[in-house]
Structure 1
Amino acid sequence: MRRNLRRSGIDIIGDVPWGTHFCNFYQTRQDLLAMLMPYFTAGLESNEFCVWVASDPLDEQEVRGAAASVIPNFDHYLANGQIEIVPYTEWYCRDGKLHLQSLFNDWIMKMEYAISQGYDGLRVSGDTAWLEQKDWVSFMEYEAVLNEMSEQQQMIILCSFALPRCRASDVIDVVNSHQFALLKRDGRWEMVETVQHKKTEQALRDSEEKFRVLTENASCGICIIQGDRICYANTEAEKITGYSEDDLLKMNLWELVHPDYRDSLQRDAVGDQIDLTRREIEILSRGGQQKWISFSYGAAIIKDKLVILGAFCDITDHKRAQETVHQQLYCAQKMEAIGQLASGLAHEINNQLTVIQASLDLYIRDDSLNFMRSKIGKAVEKASQINRQLMLLTTQKEQSREPVDINQNLRELRKVFSQMIGEDVTVHFELAEDLWMINADAANIEQVIINLI
């Protein structure tokens, strides 16, 4: 997994990931300023919340004055509360006593406050010139625990030690309780790493490279979620959501999930055991656009922390096509029901028309009823025609095409024509004997001819 790298501001180390805990040994006040000024400048410009724990040789007022003269817009950052300058007596030594155990929780609270205020994370520096030899062992134990604790936190910690006050054994203790150390030799800063840290970093780089190759070439979005925060998202996740990875890392997870699915997903996320699950949900991409995704997720433990590994694909087009099919099926079923109803009505109407026509035939010899019989007969035939069209419309069978003789069709329709148009109109048939056969549905052809008449 590609770690979220941050600008350190220090040329010799370049960009560093969250969780970096390192130290520097300085000899003069100028050495200390040369290290801390670019360090905090980079943090402030990178939207990080900064805490500077001041001690000799730079007290709180001197830090303010020096920073204002070197860091661009420092007064603006200070007024907006993006940086706090705290004397060591209010952080390490409260009420004249050393409080180390509570500091772990204090750092976490500072980091959570920073994130809640919209900052990317926490950047810290503390000077130890105040540290007395009698407290040295306790402080090194504190540094060792802080070194482990900080690895998975969104914080960067730089501890400063005055080299003239350190014994050779003290230097070794400091290096062993940090990821690496910076010291100045012959006017140049050099980096000192422990063998274990070098091996760990190399193994981590190898593992991250494999993970990067796998995820960045994946055809689906991949994310790692811790709590309510997204701590990793690959390129495909950026494409699907419309957000950059930096944007995703700043967001609350539930901002992406459509409100209709938040409650059920939150219920699934309760507890330490999350079984591998696949669900289809809607998300809100950049601009509020709704998208359907197929989301598979499960729990994993990474560095003693419970996280959720998720993979998802955009199925919006598939869902829309599915919805279209459902609508078409519904319409077809509805039309089939209407057709069945109309077909039943047509048969009933036809039965009644037959009765009417038969009754008219009984009065065929009564000349006094000729005019009325003619009118009623035409109405019956017109109704019969409409009824035939209705029955043809409701027929659900597929069209069957076969060779059709148009002449034969017309001959069979002669009787129908005479009934349709009455006795006062004569229909003459002039049929071409050499007329070609056509490939068509005979019933439909008959209906076309009737419609023309």
Structure 2
Amino acid sequence: MESASVDSGIPGVGFLPWGSHICQFYASRQDLADTLVPYFLAGIRGNAQCTWVTAAPLHAAQARDLLRAAMLDVDALERSGQLEIVDYRDWYLKTGGLTTDTLHRMWIERQDLALQRGYSGLRASGNTSFVEVCDWKSFANYEARLNGAFEGRRIIGLCAYCLGQCRPESVLDAVRSHQFAIIRRDRKWELIESSSLKAAKQELRKLNEELEERVRQRTAELEEALRIREDFISIASHELKTPLTSLKLYVESLLRASARGSSAAGQLAERLAKAKMECERLERLVDYLLDFSRASSGRLAFSCEEMDLSELARATAQRFTESLRQAGCTLSLRADAPIVGTWDRMRVEQVLVNLLANAVKHAPGAPIEVSVAERDGQAVLSVRDHGPGIAPADQGRIFEQFVQLSPTAHHRGGFGLGLWLVRKIVEALRGTLDLESAPGEGSTFRVALPRAPAPSR
């Protein structure tokens, strides 16, 4: 639909969108002239084809004189076809009266022809003073149809109504069949909007407000996404640089020792072992980054098989022996009875590893309890620490990206993605993740998994 606005030239109206259909109530010949002369002047300046259908009290010859007085070369404009001034009797005799076919031939075909000739559109005006009372109903229907005919087209139409000839019901009909009406009272122009136009404006305001709100929300989301990206780049750069620096130092020391020929077998083995540890740390960090990328886009891979959650818990606890010893933590495990289900072994192991790593990180020197049980047909995995606990204000956000709650001196750094990844994996397995914690009372993370979940995409 055409929505570009053009200068109406009418005092008190300003710019109008193409497709506008308006009316003017006039009390005198001067009222009519003061509206139509600037209306057509603006049309000529805007390169529109202009059609003025005249009737009393302004006939065709008088309309020409008014436009000449406004410094227009009326004869040249009429010869070029940009301006057409015609008496209503000649116009309706030529066009065949006020029928639907006439409507199409008079205005739509005329607009098409104007555009073919290179004009910006069609600007027209007609005076209804010739309409008899007995013809009013058919004329009012014709005017109402013009609204639909003009909509979406490069046409602007202005219909003039003499107040002295209009009955009250005629005024109402005229306002209803136009987008709005203009009238001059006490030398000032006033606009009278139709109910449909008011409703359209209200709906437009509502749509604009909704659009502005969506733009605000989208802008906030984009700003948050940019902040997360910057945080991610900063954290990733720091975390990857630490093992790379250590690895570089070990390699350089080995190269210097090799150049001096003074490297003992024991020293060489120790430094290679440390270099291998840093390589493994780098590998884990890269795996985290890959999982973060996949989980963020919903592309975490799952390969489910029948497995025993109790057996997995025992094997994972065994792997944590050294980390627990260094942190001064003791681990008690209750996973005696087999708890069999269909899950992705690697992903469930990630869940337990991240929960144990979180407990070791935030509760050094405190006991840690892991249990595997069955409850209401589901497998329940719990990891409890006896550390400082988590403040209520922090409990909702610890499962978000890049959140780190004051790591201990023993364990610093990390991406802050462990618990976020736990939540993503549990959700994908159609499980639930709960947290119970209070300051000074430790924390319990509880994962409940259906025995045969279908991983969501």
> Which has the higher Rg, Structure 1 or Structure 2?
1
User: So what's the TM-score if we normalise by structure 1?
Assistant: 0.44
User: So what's the TM-score if we normalise by structure 2?
Assistant: 0.44
